[in-house]
Every structure is written in structure tokens, then in C-alpha cells.
Amino acid sequence: MGAAVPRIALVLLGLAVLASLPFVLDPYWLRIATGILMWAGLACAWNIIGGYAGYISFGHSAFFGIGAYAAGILMGNRYGLPFGVALLVGVVAASVVAALIGWPTLRLRGAYFAIATWAFAEMLLQLANILEITGGTAGLTLPPLLDERFFFYAMLVAAVVTYGASYFLLERSRFGYRLKAVRDSEVAAESLGINTTLVKIQAFVLSAAIPAAFGSIYAYWITFINPTSVLGAYIADQMVVMVLLGGLGHFWGPAIGAVSMYLVNRIIWTEWANTTAYIAILGAVIAAVVLFLPDGLVSLWPGTRRLRLVRALARQMGRLSPRTGTAEEKP
Amino acid sequence: MTLLLQTIANGVLIGGLYVGIAIGFALAFGVLDVVDFAVGEWVMLGGFLGFYLWQWLGVDPFFLLPVAFLVFGVAGYLLAPLIYRVRSGSYARPALMALAFTFGISLIMRGSTLTLLGFNTRTVTTQVGQQTFMLGQIALPGLRVVAFAFALLVIAAFLIFLYRTRLGLAIRAVAQNRQTAGLMGIDVKRVSAIVYALYAALTGMVGVLMAAIYSVNAEVGIRYTLFAFFVVVLAGLGSISGVLAAGLFLGILEALSAVYVGGSYTYLIVFGVLYLALVVSPHGLLRRGARV
């Protein structure tokens, strides 16, 4: 990367290209681009708690679902509120829920945190199946808006805000350093006077509010939601896989992972009209990444991090002794 | 009153099988220090193996249980070195990586079963336990009684192995402290592989029974993953008697909520209790909660 000015120019250029996509792409690819933006944003949000704070959450589908149901309930026939209000309510609701469950849940670590968040998300799924206001298993229908460009730009704005917030809050602020300190050693961070509980809850709320916004936009875009489509575990699963594939705790990791996984998803869908194979592929990607590329695709970028995959393969072929060249252990 | 007793009896009978699922899982958790997200998928695969062997060979599923034990034992033994490698590798966060790895394995199992065998639900029927036993006013379906008895037998054999053999002693030593156990000359890697194989074998075998009692489809794994987590979390790690109590409790809780609250609330209640148990008492219920 060059100096600061070219980098800003690069970002602006990228944004300009993205903003012009609706005028270039045909409707099919525009929908795919919209989906990529959504998953890039979701993965980025998950990376805040999973990558920067080091807490693997399997429950982020809950927050996506809260946003989607806020849109579904408030924009439906009974209330008929405008989209903006519904989105705002969804984000606030998800933030409040995240703060409330974050306080007790973030005391757990590792696998226990993962199980607790998973259990919580499944609880919400079961609730949505039972409650009347969510339409039960039948789901809810939203007023349709047949304007693909609107949804593309809505997702684009949400994704840009997500990445902007993530950049300034995590890479360029004291909060980001505090968070990374908590991840690397909670005891050490606490001994430095960091209020670790507060930092973790802040990160959790931030990483929960963003999926709610995407959930609202998604519900309005798809116009029909039911418990499994917006609260299903596969939403959280996919966020986890995308971030792991791209690079856990790396700024650009989620975007790279989201683009690759979403394209794989769409290709499988259009080629074989089959979504079940995608589940197996998700699993195979996680397993392969963990075994061969634990720092994700970003570590393949020359000069940024060491090439674990190449090294692992070379090691297996016996050309390298197990420990040569591993000067730095931590990414 | 009869309904209540009947419900509790049903819960106890099915709870015995939940213990069978969770006991190997708890041991693997203790020895490998890895939460295996694939636990329910082993149950699911066991059910499918039972179904297809029964279809092809025409042998009663009950006689296929040893076959399932062997098949999944071998499968687990082959998979174990990978999990061991991830858990003790030179990663920045091995515990999280191992968690993600087993989660990936579970997705592979579920996804490939869905792709290869489809969504259809299969039912395994057995000639064993066709009659119903009566205990006063309470009716005990023969199949469940036999399955419960078999589960008890297996659990007893498992406990004898764990507490009365040298290998069992080595396993318990590794569960207590892998480093010290390694220093005492125990081959930690081999012990881990044996434990994982034993766990996969036990869980897959119970899967055959589950398919005979209920039925099996490719998406049933999540349910058993939830149940195994529930039992281990409530039991507290390292407590075998805790697993026994928590498994029976889960069976009774499930039966009671299905009868008195409604079938659609069962999962809400089970997930709710699991979440509350984790949150309310992370160190009391899970003695090693802070370690992972």
C-alpha cells in the first residue's frame, strides 16, 4: 500500500465503481452484487466480535432476524410504518437485546460462549415459530417495492457504513486497541485498567446492531420472511465461514470471504439448483482453512503475512523441518 | 396422576439413551479439550447406517448395533488425529480453531447426507420389543424398555472400562491434566484417538436405536447436538454421575413439556434451560468454564 492519499483515492475509486454497478449490470448480476454487499457487511459485523474480540458467536442470526422481523411486523398491514422507521426500530431492538444478553453471556469464554449464543438464537427461532405477531411458521409478507436499484444502494450504504465504522472504530481508535488487548489476554488488559466487560459489551452491541440493519433491508428486498429464512442457524454459520475463509480479525478478511463464498453459493445454485451441497462445501471450506490456512485468504497476499498453506504443504512433503522460518507465532 | 407417572416413565426411558449419547461426548470433551459440534451428526449417521444395513442385509437392527459400533469406531479413529492436530497445533487460538473445525466437520456430515440421501425421513423397524409391558397403570413400550436396558448395559461397560482398566486410568489421567499425563509416559495422542473413536462408536450406535424408536432424517443431527450440549453443560465437566442425572432430567423435561405445555414449546424450553444454565452458573455447573 502506498501513502495515505493514494489509499483514499483507491477507496473513492472503488466506491465510484460500486455506485455505478446498477447502470452496468443486468438484473441477475445486480441481485448477486446486492447479495454480496449484504454478506460482506454481515461478515464484517461478525468479525468485530469474532475476530477483534475473539469471541466466536454462533448466534448472530438472532440479530439479523430481529431486524428482519422489525421490518416485517412494522411495515405490514397492521402498522404500515415507513421503511426507515422499521429499520431504526430493528437496529435499536437488536442493540438493546445484545446489551441485555451480552452482559451475562460475555462472561463465558470459548466454546461456552459459542454454545450460549447458539442456544439464544435458537430460542428466538422457536419463539418466532410460536408467537402470533411473527406469523408463526407461515411467516410474514411485506409490501413489495420492485426497485432493484434501491436495494442495491441500500445495501451499499449499509456496507460502506459498516466498513467505515469498523475501520475508524477498530483500526484507528483507542477502542480498537482495547478490544485487541482483551482478545490477546483478558487478564493483562484488565490489569492495564481496561474495563474489559464494557469493551466486550460495546463490541457485541456494535456487531449486533449492523446485522439488524441488513436484516431489515433484506426483509424489504425479499418481501417474504419466515423463521427459518431469517433466524435460521445457517445465517450465523455463513458469517463464521466467510470470516474464517477471508481471515479472522483482519480488516479486509470478511469482504474477501463474503465475495468468494457468495459466488460459490450462487454458482452451485444456478448450475445444479441444489443448496444442500453448499452446506457440505461450507463445512469443507472451514475444515480446510483451519488445517491449512488458519489466517485465511488474506494471508496469501504477498508480503502481508506468511504463507501458511504453502508452508504446510511443503512441510508435509518433508522439504521443510517443522519449525524453520516460523519467526512470528501470532498473527 | 397416571398421566404424570406415564410421562415421567417415558422421559426416563428415553433419557437413558440421551445419557448414551452424552457420556462419550463428555469424555471426548474432557480428554481432547474440544467441544465436538458434530456429536448430533454421529447420531444421525448412525441412524442412516442402521437403516441401510437393515434394508440390504435384512438383519434386525438390534443385531447391527455391534457393526455400527465398529464402523463408527474406525471412522472416529481416523478423524481423531486431525482434531488432535488442530487442538495442539501452533495456532494463535487452538481452542477456537478446534471448535470451528468440528463445526466444519458437522456441516460436511449434514450437507453430504442431505445431498446424497435427500430430505426423506427413514423409519427403521425392529422385531425386538413388540409387546408392551405394564407397570400398574403405566404402559412401557417394549422397544423403549429394551433400548433403555441396552443403553444401561453399554454405559455400565463404559464405566467399567474407564475405572477398572489401565487404559481407562490413562484416559482419566489425560482428562485431568494432559501435560502431566504426557510426562508420566502416556501417549496423549493415542489416548485421544482412542477416546474419540470410542465416543464416535458409542454415539453412532445409539443413533441406530434412536432411528428405531423415532426415525431418522438428514437434519435430525442438530437436535442431538443440542441434547448432548444440554447434558454436558448441566452435568458439569468431569462429572460422570452428573451426566447420568442430566440425561434423565433432559428426558423427563422433554416428555413433561411435550405433554403439559405443548410439543412446539419443547425446543424453546430445552434451549432456554441450556442458555440459563450456562449464564447463571458458568463456573458452578461447568467446572472448567474459564479454561477454554
Phi then psi for residue B57, to 5 deg, are -90, -20
* B residues 21-80 lying closer than 8 A (beta carbon) to A: 34-35
Q: Which tens digit of pLDDT belongs to each residue from B60-95?
A: 888 899 999 999 999 999 999 999 988 887 666 787
Which residue, chain included where needed, has cell 449492523?
A210
User: How many separate helices (H) and strands (E) can be counted in chain A?
Assistant: 14, 2
Q: Distance between CA B213 and CA B150 in Å, rounded?
A: 13
The DSSP bridge partners found for residue A122 are none
From residue A298, alpha-carbon distances to A239, B103, B254 in Å are 16, 22, 46
CB spacing of B92 vs A331 below 8 angstroms: yes
CB spacing of A286 vs B107 below 8 angstroms: yes
What pLDDT score was predicted for residue A306?
A: 46
Phi then psi for residue B216, to 5 deg, are -135, 140
- Nearest neighbour of A283 by CB, restricted to B108, B275, B279: B108
What pLDDT score was predicted for residue A8?
A: 86
User: Does the structure show a pLDDT above 80 at A309?
Assistant: no
Q: Distance between CA B275 and CA A108 in Å, rounded?
A: 11
**Complex ipTM value:** 0.87
In angstroms, the first-to-last Cα distance of chain A is 19
CB spacing of A109 vs B290 below 8 angstroms: yes
In the chain, the amino acid numbered A58 is F
User: Does the structure show a pLDDT above 90 at B134?
Assistant: no
Q: Distance between CA B194 and CA A62 in Å, rounded?
A: 38
CB spacing of B100 vs A129 below 8 angstroms: no
**Cβ atoms of A171 and A7 closer than 8 Å:** no
C-alpha cell at A296: 485465511
- Nearest neighbour of B93 by CB, restricted to A54, A240, A281: A54
- Nearest neighbour of B271 by CB, restricted to A107, A126, A291: A126
pLDDT band at B290 (very low <50, low <70, confident <90, very high): very low
The domain ranges of chain B are: 22-220
**Which element (helix H / strand E) includes B135?**
strand B132-135
Helix axes B240-256, B2-32, angle to 10 degrees: 140
What pLDDT score was predicted for residue B237?
A: 67
C-alpha cell at B53: 444395513
From residue B254, alpha-carbon distances to A122, A134, B269, B273 in Å are 16, 25, 8, 11
In the chain, the amino acid numbered B89 is G
Distance between alpha carbon B291 and the CA centroid of its chain, in Å?
A: 23
Q: Which tens digit of pLDDT belongs to each residue from B201-260?
A: 999 999 999 999 999 999 899 899 999 999 988 887 667 778 888 899 999 999 999 999
**Cβ atoms of B236 and B285 closer than 8 Å:** yes
- Going by C-alpha positions, the residue among B214, B193, B220, B194 that lies closest to residue B41 is B220
Determine the residue among A113, A261, A286 to mutate to test chain B binding: the one whose Cβ has the most chain B Cβ atoms within 10 Å: A286
Q: Which of B286 and A56 is assigned the larger pLDDT?
A: A56
pLDDT band at B168 (very low <50, low <70, confident <90, very high): very high
**Averaged pLDDT for residues A134-140:** 89
Which residue, chain included where needed, has cell 410474514?
A140
CA atoms in the 13 A half-sphere facing the CB of B19? 30
- B267: contact with A, CB 8 A cutoff: yes
Q: Distance between CA A209 and CA A202 in Å, rounded?
A: 11
What pLDDT score was predicted for residue A243?
A: 93
Helix axes B2-32, B166-176, angle to 10 degrees: 80
